[in-house]
Amino acid sequence: MSRVSRAKLLQWTEGFRISFYDPGVTDDELQGDLTVPEPRQIYENATQWMGSSRSKILCIQAPPYRGSEWLVPRELLQRLRFPVSLPCVWFFGGARSYQGLTGQEVTPQAKMLSLVSTMITQLIKLVPHTVGNTRGTFSRTNIMKMQEPDENSPGIPISIPKAIDLIKALAKVAPPNLFFVFHRCDGLASVNGAPDRTVTRQFSDLLRYLAEGQPFRQWKILWVGTCTSRYLRMMRGTVESDQFVFVEYPTDFRP
């Protein structure tokens, strides 16, 4: 079996990674001090989830207050990455600009493009220096094909399904104890309140794969969003009841 270096993967994906990498919060922002306190029970549940060999999905209801909704996922992501340096992949969605687009310019396809480009970038940085190129998954030819427009996603410069396949393959060769953090991704596939069927299907396929997991992998998902999300219901249905933890944001808490 041939092997491919991490440097080559970074080189072959450089074009779209530079253009569309957009996690919503930067490394510099993650390392900054947070001065606003948050409900203690959220962090108690998160600490138990981080160390549990059983729990897989932790859903935290997003804070209802503008200006504070990013504090919970930022703080938890900081706790995962510093100082213990657990391997993390994260994406902060919600109502924000994507690739410089704002308002009505932001389509579900643009948000999905940001998500897959971000996850690929972060995962490549986590894989070993060389990876086995099983069935040509990590070949230059395969990655170049991914960077060709898909007929089912007009206006998107890469194939989202092929990008999702690459994410799945990278996750399988990354460290086995991966943490995936999704913030405010409930409306990722929506435009003017109506879901885009193609993007909904694509995002659901990715989340289902991560929730189901793979042999010898201990993947965990932190989902910060609404308790009524279709994606959350789908993920909850893929795991056993004691592998899913839901934490409500206390209505009487004021930051």
pLDDT for the residue numbered 113? 92
pLDDT for the residue numbered 69? 64
pLDDT for the residue numbered 83? 62
Q: Which long-range contacts (CB under 8 A, 24 or more apart) does 131-139 make?
A: 131/3, 131/4, 131/6, 131/9, 131/173, 132/1, 132/2, 132/3, 132/173, 133/1, 133/2, 133/3, 133/4, 134/1, 137/165, 137/166, 137/169, 138/4, 138/9, 138/169, 139/4
pLDDT for the residue numbered 67? 57
User: CA gyration radius for the chain?
Assistant: 18
pLDDT for the residue numbered 66? 57
pLDDT for the residue numbered 207? 96
pLDDT for the residue numbered 43? 82
pLDDT for the residue numbered 255? 57
Regarding pTM above 0.85, the answer is yes
What's the average pLDDT block by block, 10 residues per block, for the chain (255 residues)? 91 89 80 62 86 90 67 79 81 86 84 94 95 88 88 78 95 95 90 85 95 92 87 92 87 64
**Distance in angstroms (rounded) separating the CA atoms of residues 76 and 140:** 36
